[in-house]
């Protein structure tokens, strides 16, 4: 068989791969969040029949003489540029305008540091909804990760624990920790879930003051936010903490003074004992009734509880990778930040997380000459230049006109290669027929 036939067969295979890419683009022309692909051709091996030379004092030089043997797939690239906005009218549908991805996945990812940012999957499709357990999910059942609203244990209007809380709050203020807001946005990256619903107020759970029984301190169904675990000793993580365990049981003892979180199993990661003052959640791990649940242009998941309280569940996290075109497609609308994508950072739009560190870490300036700074990988991205558009999804970036033009070129290229095979076959036939 001649080299021309080998080259033509290589060209046929490469053009078929190109047609596969074009076919996939056309098939997903109406797929929300789809990023079109582009295949490039590349020359394959060469044989050298005569080497080149630079010449001598007597003779001139000459170029090398080489024959190529067809083409092969050079690269298949993703076009990660934003698509157009496709309005849907759904309150939780949203689109990322600019670079970035939503983070989704299982509920049990433990994001303890910047190296764990690669655990969740990446997606550009923001078709979110609330499931029966109060989690914000995508349509494939993956929970959405973000930064939740929590109750601030450093808030000065809480019950002090003698000999401990005073010291902790003073140390927190010295380190620049927020001690003035009762509720704050935690920088722990967690699955977003509606707050728990408050239990019926009674004297036993501190919801009714015996001296003023007609004015309960809360209503059944009011939102009960998680806590930000206070730091003490060597434990400075300050992660989110729920007042109920995995079975929905309260972690502490309830009294008229509030909810006492004690040492052992009831403590927060071994923290000092403290008293929680506020609505006590029900013991069935039930979330509030959310009315008007929607996502804002800042990525905030907001609603009203059934009792009329405004609730900010939290802010949707946005992940940015160094090389967006280098993410690895793992099926459907999901990607992973693997080899080729570079480093990954996480934050929220609007600069909400700018200047903060993962898991509410802060710079310890206790020793001004030698401040303790968290790992640079744990710093959160302000997501400058990225916005969220609510009420719609990102349209596919596949363009039908471009794909049809590429299909014509691919078809004609394939056809031309078949002609080489036909001509080569005719030449071989003539060779065989030389001896009759």
- For position 234, what pLDDT does the model report? 45
Closest CA to 397 of 21, 88, 78: 78
- Count of beta carbons in the 10 Å neighbourhood of residue 132: 6
Q: Is 136 helix (H, G, I), strand (E, B) or coil?
A: strand
Mention every residue, 6+ apart, whose C-beta is less than 8 A from residue 167: none
Q: Mapping DSSP to helix (H, G, I), strand (E, B) and coil, where does residue 63 land?
A: coil
CA distance 99 to 381: 12
Residue 48, burial from CB neighbour count under 10 angstroms (0-12, 13-18, 19+): exposed
The pairing of beta strand 310-316 with beta strand 334-336: unpaired
Structure confidence by residue, pLDDT tens digits, 103-132: 999 998 989 899 999 999 999 999 999 999
Quick one: pLDDT at residue 159? 56
Please report the pLDDT score of residue 167 as a whole number: 63
pTM value is: 0.87
Dihedral over Cα of 292, 293, 297, 298: its sign: positive
Enumerate residue ranges in the chain where pLDDT < 50.
Answer: 232-237, 264-266
pLDDT of residue 232: 47
Burial class (CB in 10 A: 0-12, 13-18, 19+), 433: exposed
Judged on CB neighbours under 10 Å (0-12, 13-18, 19+), 358 is buried
Helix axes 400-432, 3-27, angle to 10 degrees: 160
């Amino acid at each position: 068989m001649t080299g021309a036939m080998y080259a033509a067969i290589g060209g046929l295979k490469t053009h078929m791969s190109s047609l596969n890419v074009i076919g996939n683009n056309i098939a997903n022309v109406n797929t929300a969040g789809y990023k079109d692909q582009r295949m490039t051709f590349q020359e394959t091996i060469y044989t050298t029949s005569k080497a080149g030379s630079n010449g001598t004092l007597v003779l001139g030089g000459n170029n090398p003489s080489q024959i190529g043997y067809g083409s092969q797939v050079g690269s298949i690239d993703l076009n990660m540029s934003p698509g157009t906005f496709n309005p849907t009218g759904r309150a939780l549908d949203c689109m990322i305008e600019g670079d970035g991805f939503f983070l989704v996945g299982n509920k049990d990812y433990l994001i303890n540091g910047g190296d764990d940012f690669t655990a969740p999957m990446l997606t550009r499709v923001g078709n979110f909804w609330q499931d029966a357990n109060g989690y914000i999910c995508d349509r494939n059942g993956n929970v959405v990760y973000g930064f939740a609203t929590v109750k601030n244990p450093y808030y000065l209007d809480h019950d002090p624990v003698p000999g401990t809380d005073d010291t902790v709050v003073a140390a927190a203020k010295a380190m620049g920790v927020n001690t003035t807001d009762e509720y704050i946005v935690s920088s722990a990256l967690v699955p977003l879930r509606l707050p728990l619903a408050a239990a019926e107020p009674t004297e036993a759970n501190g919801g009714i003051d015996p001296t003023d029984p007609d004015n309960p301190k809360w209503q059944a169904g009011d939102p009960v936010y998680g806590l930000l675990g206070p730091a003490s000793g060597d434990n400075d993580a300050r992660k989110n903490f729920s007042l109920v365990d995995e079975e929905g049981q309260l972690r502490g003892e309830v009294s008229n003074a509030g909810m006492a979180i004690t040492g052992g199993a009831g403590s927060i990661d071994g923290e000092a004992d403290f008293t929680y003052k506020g609505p006590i959640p029900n013991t069935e791990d039930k979330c509030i009734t959310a009315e008007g649940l929607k996502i804002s242009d800042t990525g905030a998941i907001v609603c009203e509880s059934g009792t009329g309280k405004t609730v900010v569940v939290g802010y949707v996290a946005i992940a940015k990778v160094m090389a967006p075109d280098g993410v690895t497609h793992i099926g459907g609308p999901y990607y992973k930040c693997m080899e080729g994508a570079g480093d990954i950072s996480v934050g929220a739009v609007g600069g909400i997380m700018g200047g903060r560190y993962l898991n509410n870490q802060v710079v310890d300036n206790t020793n001004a000459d030698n401040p303790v700074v968290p790992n640079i990988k744990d710093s959160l991205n302000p997501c400058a230049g990225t916005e969220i558009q609510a009420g719609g999804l990102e349209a596919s970036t596949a363009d039908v006109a471009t794909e049809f033009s590429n299909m014509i070129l691919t078809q004609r290229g394939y056809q031309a290669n078949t002609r080489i095979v036909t001509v080569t076959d005719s030449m071989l036939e003539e060779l065989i027929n030389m001896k009759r």
